[in-house]
């Protein structure tokens, strides 16, 4: 519908991704009984198909098993992947591995890349990003982080309590965010560490019960780190630069999340249109009634606005900017727009919408979490408001109400 000035390379890649989705992924999705998890064998088969369609790990450099596409050329493909919960897994653009691979590629040493990045890209291992904590609000405000890492000789000793570590139950390796200098401001006193999940002192307490998951069976672990020792070489990036590195990971990851959920919402509306065309009630097709037609039109319009915001933010990141304002606007707007679009599609499909013969119920559970993960709405709105009020020029202020004499 909209091309957004995407490059020829971006359109060709997205075209191959669309073919994979239509010819392989969606048929597999339809074969999975509602409420069940896809098997490891089926995941492996999907990834092999993605390689055959030449769309596997397009975000990673060729040196590490990917395809080496520029970030802004990836967005249409992430959107295609988002049309099914199985799409990101097939193309190896699934969270949290996608963001962790990005961080390892940017800041990992050659040894770290060989030991962790290459197997992650190949799908031989999985990872978790262990940052959020249950105490002191260190989720929305990570400056309140309590987990520590202290240097003892040639080792780091990590102590702390984390939760909502996505993929944490099955992860082979964890990227752990911890304070390394308690006297410094957290922005200068935190670091990221690579911790194999089988390291002594790592306790996977539980998979936190949660909405969502669908056929991918996504887990969110509560984890305790009790005197966990890792060698000094497991520091990822620079000591004390944890917040900078995390921002480098989360900014692009938030946009890729936006595109995956945009693709999900677009497919949900497509399913709803097909259902409305087929469904007869009160002597006519439901698609001939004004209310559903107008509601679908509104949601499609809002989705196009969200996609435009994301591309503007992606352009800024590609130009070397942090783009915090653009990313926050994109994230909070897209999260709400996609939730409303999927809710509308589910409502129009009625009983078929809440049943799991269609993917809408799984979509609905998945998208609701998007307004919380990667920064809750309120956190991003605060970022936007702070930036806007900081940049207000007092000379440009005008009275809110003007009375004419």
Which residues are CB-contacts of 33 (< 8 A; sequence separation ≥ 6)?
none
Q: What angle do CA 302, 303, 306 make, to 5 degrees?
A: 90
pLDDT in the model for residue 144: 86
Going from the C-alpha of 316 to that of each of 205, 224, 330, the distances in angstroms are: 40, 38, 12
Q: What's the pLDDT at 395?
A: 46
Question: What angle, 0 to 180 degrees and rounded to 10, lies between the N-to-C axes of helices 360-370 and 324-354?
Answer: 150
Residue 393 is predicted with a pLDDT of 53
Cβ(121)–Cβ(112) under 8 Å?
no
- Counting runs of H as helices and runs of E as strands, what totals does the chain give? 14, 10
pLDDT at residue 283 in the model: 78
Distance CA 12, CA 169 (A): 36
Give 142's contacts (C-beta < 8 A, 6+ positions apart). 131, 132, 177, 186, 243, 246
- Alpha-carbon span 21 to 24, nearest angstrom: 6
Which pLDDT value is given to residue 15? 97
C-alpha span between 366 and 314 (Å, rounded):
23
DSSP per position, 338-405: HHHHHHHHHHHHHHHHHSSSSTHHHHHHHHHHHTTTTS-HHHHHHHHHHHHHHT--GGG---SS----
Q: Locate 54 and state its tokens.
A: 């030449």
Answer for the pair 298, 226: CB distance below 8 angstroms, yes or no. no
Look at residue 288 in the predicted model and tell me its pLDDT: 86
The predicted-structure confidence for 349-368, as pLDDT tens digits, reads as follows 999 999 999 999 999 999 99
Of 240, 125, 118, 134, residue with least CA distance to 177: 240
The secondary structure of 85-117 as a DSSP string is TTHHHHHT--TTHHHHHHHHHHH--HHHIIIII
What distance in Å separates the CA atoms of residue 299 and residue 257, rounded to the nearest whole number?
19
Give the end-to-end CA distance of the chain in Å, rounded to a whole number.
51
Residue 401 pLDDT: 37
Tokens of 20: 């994979």
How many residues does the structure list for the chain? 405
Structure tokens at 131: 């940052």
C-alpha distances (whole Å) from 8 to each of 3, 12, 13, 102, 333 are 10, 6, 9, 24, 28
What residues of the chain score a pLDDT lower than 70? 1-3, 136-139, 391-405
Give the pLDDT confidence score for residue 249 in this predicted structure: 87
**Separation CA 142–CA 316 (nearest Å):** 25
Domains and CATH numbers, the chain: 8-94 (1.10.540.10), 127-240 (2.40.110.10), 243-390 (1.20.140.10)
pTM to 2 decimals?
A: 0.88
d(CA 313, CA 302): 17
């Amino acid at each position: 519908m909209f091309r957004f000035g995407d490059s020829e390379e971006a359109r060709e890649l997205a075209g191959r991704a669309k073919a994979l989705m239509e010819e392989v992924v969606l048929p597999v999705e339809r074969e999975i009984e509602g409420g069940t998890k896809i098997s490891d064998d089926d995941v492996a088969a999907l990834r092999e198909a993605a390689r055959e369609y030449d769309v596997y790990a397009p975000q990673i450099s060729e040196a590490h098993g990917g395809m080496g596409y520029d970030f802004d050329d990836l967005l249409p493909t992430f959107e295609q992947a988002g049309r099914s919960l199985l799409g990101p897994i097939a193309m190896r653009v699934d969270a949290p591995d996608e963001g962790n691979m990005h961080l390892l590629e940017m800041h990992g040493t050659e040894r770290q890349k060989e030991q962790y990045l290459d197997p992650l890209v190949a799908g031989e291992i999985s990872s978790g990003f262990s940052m959020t904590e249950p105490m002191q609000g260190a989720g929305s405000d990570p400056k309140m982080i309590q987990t520590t890492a202290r240097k003892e000789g040639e080792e780091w000793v990590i102590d702390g309590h984390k939760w909502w570590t996505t993929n944490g139950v099955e992860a082979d390796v964890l990227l752990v965010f911890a304070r390394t200098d308690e006297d410094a401001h957290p922005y200068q006193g935190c670091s990221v560490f690579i911790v194999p999940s089988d390291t002594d002192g790592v306790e996977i307490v539980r998979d936190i019960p949660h909405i969502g998951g669908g056929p991918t069976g996504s887990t969110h672990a509560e984890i305790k780190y009790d005197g966990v020792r890792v060698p000094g070489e497991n520091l990822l990036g620079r000591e004390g630069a944890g917040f900078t590195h995390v921002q480098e990971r989360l900014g692009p990851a938030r946009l890729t999340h936006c595109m995956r959920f945009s693709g999900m919402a677009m497919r949900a509306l497509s399913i709803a249109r097909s259902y409305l065309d087929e469904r007869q009630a009160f002597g006519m097709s439901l698609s001939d009634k004004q209310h559903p037609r107008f509601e679908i039109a509104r949601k499609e319009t809002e989705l196009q606005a969200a996609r435009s915001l994301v591309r503007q933010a992606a352009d800024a990141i590609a130009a070397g900017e942090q783009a915090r304002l653009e990313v926050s606007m994109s994230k909070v707007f897209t999260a709400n727009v996609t939730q409303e679009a999927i809710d509308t599609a589910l409502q129009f499909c009625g009983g078929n919408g809440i049943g799991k013969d269609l993917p809408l119920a799984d979509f609905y559970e998945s998208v609701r979490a998007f307004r919380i993960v990667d920064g809750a709405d309120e956190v991003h709105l605060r970022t936007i408001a702070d930036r806007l009020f900081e940049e207000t020029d007092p000379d440009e202020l005008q009275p809110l109400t003007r009375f004419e004499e």
